[in-house]
Structure 1
């Protein structure tokens, strides 16, 4: 591949990643107030039951595509695999 083709491929990957990022930001902004209310309710209701809180946060982290070790899922990797298909 020439440098020009490689550059075009990288640009397409970046554009796809930016699109995914924009979509994620819009979703989080729309759901931020609702999420804050839910988290406050969970903490105030289940303050003494840390196991329930932990399970709930695990479910919330799955929604936001966060791995168990706390790192965010790399959306660029997903974009790369989508482009290859």
Structure 2
């Protein structure tokens, strides 16, 4: 009888281990989905920041070009 009890206890322990593993595996798709959603948000924010940086750069370049053109148009007489 003690062998049967020990075998039952081992089997019960294995079942509990399998249940715990199953619970962990069931949570993985949800975790992966959340991580993918977070990554998507980060990509969108990064893309918006890149677009803003490009627009700022373009604006600064236009202002500098305009200032250079104005200096050229003014000619050497206005320079001190």
Normalising by structure 1, report the TM-score: 0.40
**TM-score normalized by the length of structure 2:** 0.42
More helix by share: 2
Larger RCO: Structure 1 or Structure 2 (Cα < 8 Å, ≥ 6 residues apart)?
Answer: 1
Larger radius of gyration: 2
